[in-house]
Chain A
Amino acid sequence: MPSLRRFISHQNVSVRLLNFTNVMRVDIWLILNVLALAVIGWILMYSVARSASTVYLYRMILFFCSGVVVTIFFVSIDYRFLVNWAPLFYLGSIALLLVVLFFGTEAKGSERWINLGLFRLQPSEFSKIIMIFFLTWYLTKIGEKIRKLGWFVVTFLLVGIPMALILKQPNLGTAASLAPLVFAMLYVAGCRKVHLVLVLLLGSMLVPVLWLEMKDFDPSVEKETQTTLGLKHYQKKRIYAFLHPEYDYRGTGWHTYQSKITIGSGGISGKGYLRGTQTKLKYLPEHHTDFIFSLLAEEFGFVGGVMVIALFAIMLFRGLMFARDAYDMQGTLLAVGVVTVLAFHIFVNIAITTGLLPVTGIPLPFLSYGGSFYMTVMAGIGILLNVPLRKKEVEQQNMPTSIANVEVYRRKG
């Protein structure tokens, strides 16, 4: 384990571990983008308050404020430090996941939270960020060896352990979000495309297995059946309801059915702010969390929906720009990891609300109510903002002293 002292001493440039002046130098466009999305989130929460509780709005503002602290932390810290310590975080997260499995608080049939009295912690959320750091550590550690099949496979084993633990909770959504993360990071780390294609082929072999499992599935029989994939009855029912929308639209298929009505009835310009009938009259459950996009699309219509998707797109592409222009491999990998996780959530969430994918609990960044995920997203934003700073920093170090000083003064002034 690299010690703090060693970490600082072996740098060829002297940097502080936490440099809060970083905050002054972050990319203003991404900040504005994030602010816009956060404000939209509050606007939507105010609309939610019309049919539910105002608490969601206040908490949402609170989440953002605490999220800003998290972001400042991740902006100020030297990410190389976090990457170097990632294996420790990795082991810690596995330990936490085990704690959840044995002592977790149950919610809606799955154990996901650790009750800390003041608030409940959802360790699987933080495992997303930890996995980004851990994979960055691993991939930069092995470097070009990633082109060898052995090291390539080891990546999947390392990701597989926490993934299996999260699946066991069961939390299909979070576990699934790790998959594109691995793929994207491996791809950017420079693995062989053949290997990736092979894995994808292997993965696609799941489809016939899944088909075999769903073939004889009868949703009316309430029985847990032993299967190769270990799918729970309720999960199968959701898949079944997705494949057969007419089945039990009052029960399992209700969310998708009502969500499509909610979005579809919004039309081009929407029903108007606070005038969404579907969400106000509580036809759409969970419209403050996973189905917040439906509320947006109902009240602000196609225009509002596309605008928010565009805001997300700008955020993601800005992140990818940072990844492309990053100073080092670690920065690139971190930025790609964050962008992938965010993109996965955005895409899957909206795909679920619009009926493209079966229902599973995936929140929408900035808009869905939920504290742990908000922290994760804000941490990710912090990492994204941090990545280009490293380059500026190094460029500054390499500058002649006078210019560097001028630069510093200019920043301070």
Chain B
Amino acid sequence: MTDNREQERYPGIERRVQQIGFAIAAALLLLGVQLWRLQVLSLNEFSKLAESNRIWQKRLAADRGIIYARDGEVMADNRARVDVIIIPGECPADALDTVCERLETWLNVDRQELDKKITASAKLPFSQILVKRDISRVDQIRVEENQHLLPGVTTIVHPQRRYLLGETAGQIMGYLGEINQAELDQRQELGYFQGDLIGKGGIELFYESLLHGQDGYMLVTKYASGQPQLRTDKAGRPMIARRDTIGHLLNLEAPPVPARSGEALNLTLDIDLQRKCDALLQGEQGSIVVLDADTGAVLALASAPGYDPSVFVNRGATEERLALLSGQKPNRMTHRAFREVYPPGSVFKIMLAAAGLEENLINASTRFHCSGSYAIDGKGRRWNCWNRHGHGSLNVVESLAFSCDVFFYSLGRRLEVDRIVAYSKLMGLGVPTGIDIAGESAGLIPGREWKAAMHADKPAWEKQWYPGETVNLSIGQGSCTTTPLQVTVMMACIVNGGYRVQPFLRQEAGPKRSEKLFSDNTIKTVTEGLRMCVERKKPAPTGTGTRAYIDGMDIIGKTGTAQVASLSFLSKYKKTEDIPYPLRHHAWFTAGVLDRTPRIAVTVLIEHGHAGGSVAAPVARDVIEYFYNHAATKPSYTITAGN
């Protein structure tokens, strides 16, 4: 029967079964080895991968530091910006369309844009998609009240910079913008990330590291789909839930590291004075600088026209932002007190007089004769005085008062260019003042070295400095440029008795001032000249700056009228009003007050104002009057009065 054969086993079958056993043993051993390789040898590598899989560092943005003015008035703070977001993964698929439709009608959202964003993130359904930024309070309430009609839609709150003063001191604030690649490379270690806002100008940029603060973070576990185990509390701040969406208890990774807000900045700016200065500049292009002459504290730093920095943080203001950045004239982004440079014109003579006296090239009684023009060694090209009839014989005091050009041509020739450059820098002209704000310009006092460098590849005769250029430089013309702030520092030096101050905006940043630069004698003589310039002395002749005179106040000052176009070119126009605006002279007036506390230095520059004495001086007068009648009576000045 077949049965028998079926049961029979051939000899050696055991060995074959055994060999199969060996094969299986070998295979299982291989698995063990592979397991050892993965779990023991590569443990660190895979652990890291698993961690990076699941741990997500949620940033807790730090509030930017608040900026206060001198009296504690808030200039910039942060408000809560409410954004609407949608998490498509938390919205039932069949309801998504209705939800989008509601968002469209309620919040006036571009539907196509929203649909595009949702489709783009189809692979990560739990990513947060921005529906609308910065919604109004009414919209916020509407969204939150109708939560049941809008599954997956939530509002989240972000800190948002707010500038409370609008255009007042707007340029000083600077503005915030998204960090660019270069800035990111520079600051990555400081905790900046792509998409962060960073100071782009003014105080915001200069004190970025102070204002920025330190972001906090918390470690959040996330699902493979990208959905974090995270909830937002009622205030819209992120918090880690004890249970996830399925209701499972969660282990908190670590306590959150809270954000450290940026430091508050207390500025020296007097907002009332700043407003007054803005008002005085209304309709003009120009700037006003008011310094505490003894400390260098900036009391006002006005520039017109200005802009409202809110334009850069509020998304709604796109067109205004573009208009500002387009560079159309007049440039509203440039602060005219420290960023723009102008030829100083006659205000330069203050420095020249001080230098001449200090070098003993002249003394208070040294007289030069002004015939209405000047020629080097009495021959060749003639340089005119502004008064074609000539001032006759005058000393340095009278020259300052009447702003005689010929006197200073002669003095300049005596000083020679090298000493003019050296004294300029000593008094702060043509060098950055070191004020604590971003974007300060240096200006330029031309000298031998500058000219050689400028014409480096030209023949020797072009590199050479000519005496005629010294003559031009003596009255602050030619290539010579300064900022109104530098001129104010120079004036402060005369007011405070010969110290160069470093202007500062943050109260903690100053005061810093140099050694005494000039002898009392020099200061006394220059002061006399500048006082005479303002004084309404009877009988005539009176100085050029009498419109700045306030009865009963010891005011010193100096006018300046800086040429933009050559006088011979302008001679074809009969009346001032006929001259095209861009060709008119810049009007300077720099003044100081000696017999009040605090002593201040004021500089007014009106672009194309054409005459310093008649246009800029009255503005300076108004500033001084306002300051001592209103601002200086406030308690905040008693602190600095002691300095």
State the A residues within 8 Å of B (CB).
10-12, 50, 80, 140-141, 143-144, 184, 187-188, 190, 258, 260-268, 277-278, 281-283, 297, 301-302, 305-306, 309, 312-313, 316-317, 320, 323-324, 326-330, 332, 336, 339-340, 343, 346-347, 350-351, 354-356
The answer to whether B53 and A12 have CB atoms under 8 Å apart is: no
Measured CB to CB, the closest approach of chain A to B248, in angstroms, equals 6
A327 to B7 alpha-carbon distance, docked (Å): 7
- Beta-carbon contact of A336 and B54 below 8 Å: no
User: Smallest CB-CB separation from B43: which chain A residue?
Assistant: A267
Contact B5 A143 (CB under 8 A): yes
Q: Are A261 and B46 in contact (CB under 8 A)?
A: yes
Q: A277-B50, A281-B53, A351-B31 are in contact. Are A316 and B224 (CB under 8 A)?
A: no
Out of B1, B9, B224, which one reaches A329, CB within 8 Å? B9
A282 touches B224 (CB 8 A): yes
Partner among B34, B49, B223 whose Cβ is within 8 Å of the Cβ of A356: B34
Interface of A, secondary structure class, is helix
Considering the chains assembled together, what is the distance between the CA atoms of A291 and B411 in angstroms?
95
Could you say which residues of chain A place their CB within 8 Å of the CB of B54? 277-278, 281, 283
Residue of B nearest to A394 (CB): B7
Q: Say which one of B12-20, B187-195, B341-349, B444-452 lies at the interface with A.
A: B12-20
Most chain A CB neighbours (cut-off 10 Å) among B12, B27, B30, B248:
B27
- How far is the CB of B195 from the nearest CB of chain A, in Å? 24
26 sampled A-B residue pairs with Cβ under 8 A: A140-B5, A140-B6, A187-B16, A187-B20, A263-B39, A265-B49, A267-B43, A277-B50, A278-B54, A281-B53, A281-B54, A302-B40, A309-B31, A317-B24, A320-B17, A320-B21, A324-B13, A324-B18, A328-B9, A330-B6, A340-B20, A346-B28, A347-B28, A347-B31, A356-B30, A356-B34
Assess whether A283 is in contact with B1, with CB atoms less than 8 Å apart: no
- With both chains docked as a complex, state the minimum distance between the C-beta of B502 and any C-beta of chain A, in angstroms: 57
* Chain B residues with CB below 8 A from A313, complex form: 24-25, 28
Within B42-56, the residues touching A (CB, 8 Å) are 42-43, 45-47, 49-51, 53-54
Contacts of B39 in A (CB 8 A): 263-264, 266-268, 297, 301-302, 305
Task: Return chain A residues, CB-CB under 8 Å to B28.
Answer: 309, 312-313, 316, 346-347
Query: With A143-B5, A265-B43, A281-B53 known to touch, is A347 a contact of B27 (CB < 8 Å)?
Result: yes
Q: How far is the CB of B49 from chain A (nearest CB, A)?
A: 5
Measured between beta carbons, the chain B residues less than 8 angstroms from A140 are: 5-6
The answer to whether A297 and B53 touch across the interface, beta carbons within 8 angstroms, is no
- Complex Cα distance, B316 from A149, in Å, reads 86
B38 at the interface (CB under 8 A from A): yes
Task: Tell me the bound Cα distance from A190 to B9 in angstroms.
Answer: 10
Q: What is the bound-complex CA distance between A68 and B406, given in angstroms?
A: 121
Partner of A184 from the list B10, B20, B49, B221 (CB cut-off 8 Å) is: B20
Q: Mark B265-301, 1 if CB is under 8 A from A, else 0.
A: 0000000000000000000000000000000000000
B7 touches A12 (CB 8 A): no
Distance in Å: Cβ of B4 to nearest Cβ of chain A: 9
A12–B20 touching, CB < 8 Å: no
A11 to B6, CA, bound (A): 12
B132 at the interface (CB under 8 A from A): no
- Measured between beta carbons, the chain A residues less than 8 angstroms from B35 are 263, 297, 302, 305-306, 309, 350, 354
Q: A320-B20, A320-B21, A336-B17 are in contact. List 11 more A-B contacts (CB 8 A).
A: A261-B49, A263-B39, A267-B47, A277-B54, A283-B53, A309-B28, A317-B24, A317-B25, A320-B18, A329-B7, A350-B31
CB neighbours (8 Å) of A316 from chain B are: 21, 24, 28
Structural contact, B7 and A354, CB atoms closer than 8 A: no
CA distance A305 to B51 in the complex (A): 21
Closest-by-CB residue of B relative to A193 is B16
Given contacts A266-B39, A313-B25, whether A282 and B9 have CB atoms under 8 Å apart is: no
Q: State A306–B9 Cα separation when bound (angstroms).
A: 36
Contacts of A80 in B (CB 8 A): 6
* Contact A190–B13 (Cβ < 8 Å): yes
Q: Given A188-B17, A264-B38, do A329 and B6 touch, yes or no (CB 8 Å)?
A: yes
Q: Which residues from A are CB-within-8-Å of B7?
A: 327-330
What is the chain A residue whose CB lies nearest that of B53? A283
Q: Which residue of B lies closest to A317 (CB)?
A: B21
Residue in B closest to A83 when the chains form the complex, CB atoms: B6
Chain A residues contacting B25 (CB-CB under 8 Å) are 313, 317
Pair B32/A324 contact, Cβ less than 8 Å: no
Q: Does B577 contact A (CB under 8 A)?
A: no
- A329 contact set on B, CB distance < 8 A: 6-9, 13
Chain B residues with Cβ below 8 Å from A328 are: 6-9
Say yes or no: A332 contacts B9, CB within 8 Å.
yes
Q: Is B225's CB within 8 Å of the partner chain A?
A: yes
Q: A332 to B36: give the CA distance in the assembly, Å.
A: 34
**Please, which residue of chain B has its CB at the minimum distance from the CB of A323?**
B17
Q: Is B222 an interface residue (CB 8 A)?
A: yes
Q: Chain A residues near B16: list those with CB within 8 A.
A: 187-188, 190
User: Is the pair B17, A324 in contact by a Cβ cutoff of 8 Å?
Assistant: yes
Q: Can you name the residue of chain B whose Cβ is closest to the Cβ of A52?
A: B246
| Chain A residue at minimal CB-CB distance from B21 | A320
Chain B 444-483 near chain A by CB (<8 Å), digits 1 or 0: 0000000000000000000000000000000000000000
B125 to chain A, nearest CB (A): 13
Q: Is the CB of B20 within 8 A of A281?
A: no
Q: Are B24 and A343 in contact (CB under 8 A)?
A: yes
| B508 contacts the other chain (CB 8 A) | no
B319 at the interface (CB under 8 A from A): no
Q: Once the chains bind, are B224 and A336 in contact (CB under 8 Å)? A: no
Cα distance A350–B32 in the bound complex, in angstroms? 10
B515 contacts the other chain (CB 8 A): no
Closest to B27 in A: A347
Do A262 and B50 touch (CB < 8 A)?
A: yes
The winner among A50, A187, A264 for most chain B CB atoms within 10 A is A264
B113 CB–A CB distance under 8 Å:
no
Is B9 touching A339 in the complex (CB atoms < 8 A)? no
Q: Which of chain B's residues have a CB closer than 8 A to the CB of A267?
A: 39-40, 43, 47
Kindly report which residue of chain A lies nearest to residue B10, judged by CB atoms: A190
Which of chain B's residues has its CB closest to A326's CB? B9
Contact at B24–A339, with CB atoms within 8 Å? yes
Minimum Cβ distance to chain B for residue A145 (Å): 11
Kindly provide the distance from the CB of B33 to the nearest chain A CB, expressed in whole angstroms: 10
B-side contacts of A283, CB under 8 Å = 50, 53-54, 224
Q: How far is the CA of A354 from the CA of B13 in the complex (A)?
A: 34
Residue B145, interface by CB 8 Å: no
* Contact partners of A263 in chain B: CB under 8 A: 35, 38-39, 46
Which residue of B3, B38, B224 contacts A354 across the interface (Cβ within 8 Å)? B38
Q: B224 — which chain A residues lie within 8 A by C-beta?
A: 281-283
Contact of B6 with A278 in the complex, beta carbons under 8 Å: no
Complex alpha-carbon distance, A267 and B5, angstroms: 54
Task: Tell me, in angstroms, the Cα distance from A340 to B8 when the chains sit together.
Answer: 22
B53 touches A10 (CB 8 A): no
A305 and B32 CA atoms in complex are apart in Å by: 8
Which residue of the partner chain, among B10, B13, B30, contacts A144 with CB atoms under 8 Å? Answer: B10
In the complex, A12→B4 CA distance in Å?
Answer: 10
CA distance A329 to B32 in the complex (A): 33
Q: Is the CB of A282 within 8 A of B223?
A: yes
Which chain B residues border A330 with CB–CB below 8 Å?
Answer: 6-7
Q: Please indicate the chain A residues that have their CB under 8 angstroms from the CB of B222 in the complex.
A: 281
Q: How far is the CB of B484 from chain A (nearest CB, A)?
A: 60
Residues of B within 8 A of A187 (CB): 16, 19-20
Q: Give complex CA distance A302, B248 in Å.
A: 27
A50 to B489 alpha-carbon distance, docked (Å) = 73
Report Cα–Cα, A312/B28, bound state, in Å: 9
